[in-house]
């Protein structure tokens, strides 16, 4: 039933967008975090989500979407003069995270709106199904 296929497509988009939103929230939360990896401290590297077309069941009518992978943002880290930082070098310069709060906030809003748009599609499909079911009454 093609109306239920809409549920799958919109559902996959909602899962992907809410994961994307979570990633942006995590980036925002960690703007000045340090990562303890094997006993050494590193600045937090921003994460980026790569979305990919997901052909749910090989039809030509289209498929859903999924997060292909989460990659590290390759924007170079900035150095600031902060001799008190636990990761500052011998000259007193410390690397800081490459999270850009503006792009993160806006991407999070955009992901949220995308989620809501897919939810509207779901609502429409749901009311279509409900109308179909009440056809003979």
Partner 1 sequence: MEPLIHETMISTKNILDNQEILANNLANASTVGFKSALRSQIILSNNTDKEQYPHLLSKSYDQTQGPFISTMQPLDIAITNKSGWLVVQTNDKSIAYTRNGHLKINSDQQLTSQEHIIMGQNGPIVIPSDSKTRILSNGIIEVIHNDEDFSQELDKLKLVEININNLTYGNNGLYFLKTANQPDIKEIEDNPNVKLLSGTLEDSNVNLSENMINIMSDARKFDMQMKILTDYDENIQLINKFLNINN
Q: Which one of residues 24, 64, 65, 96 is an interface residue with partner 1 (CB under 8 A)?
A: 24
CA–CA gap between residue 121 and residue 77 (Å, rounded):
40
Q: Which one of residues 5, 8, 28, 67 is an interface residue with partner 1 (CB under 8 A)?
A: 28
Q: Which residue has 């690397």 as its token pair?
A: 95
Q: Could you say whether residue 116 binds partner 1 (CB under 8 A)?
A: yes
Provide the token pair at 110.
Answer: 């955009």
End-to-end CA distance of the chain: 21
Site size for partner 1, by CB under 8 A?
35
Q: Could you say whether residue 2 binds partner 1 (CB under 8 A)?
A: no
Q: Which one of residues 1, 2, 4, 37 is an interface residue with partner 1 (CB under 8 A)?
A: 37
| Minimum separation from the CB atom of position 42 to partner 1 (A) | 9
Q: Are 18 and 10 in contact (CB under 8 A)?
A: no
CA–CA gap between residue 125 and residue 56 (Å, rounded):
18
Helix (H, G, I), strand (E, B) or coil at 116: helix
Q: Which one of residues 53, 59, 80, 109 is an interface residue with partner 1 (CB under 8 A)?
A: 109
Provide the token pair at 29.
Answer: 């939360």
| Minimum separation from the CB atom of position 56 to partner 1 (A) | 20
Helix (H, G, I), strand (E, B) or coil at 21: helix
Q: Which residues bind partner 1 (CB under 8 A)?
A: 14, 18, 21-22, 24-26, 28-38, 41, 44, 70, 84-86, 101, 105, 108-109, 112, 115-116, 119, 122-123, 126
């Amino acid at each position: 039933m093609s109306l239920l296929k809409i549920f799958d497509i919109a559902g996959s988009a909602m899962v992907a967008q809410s994961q994307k939103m979570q990633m942006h929230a995590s980036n925002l939360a960690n703007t000045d975090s340090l990562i303890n990896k094997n006993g050494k401290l590193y600045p937090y590297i921003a994460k980026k989500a790569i979305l990919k077309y997901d052909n749910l069941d090989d039809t030509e009518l289209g498929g859903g979407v999924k997060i292909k992978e989460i990659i590290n943002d390759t924007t170079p880290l900035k150095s600031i003069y902060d001799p008190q930082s636990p990761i500052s070098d011998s000259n007193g310069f410390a690397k800081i995270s490459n999270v850009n709060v503006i792009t993160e906030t806006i991407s999070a809003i955009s992901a949220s709106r995308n989620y809501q748009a897919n939810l509207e599609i779901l609502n429409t499909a749901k009311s279509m199904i409900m109308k179909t079911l009440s056809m003979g009454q």
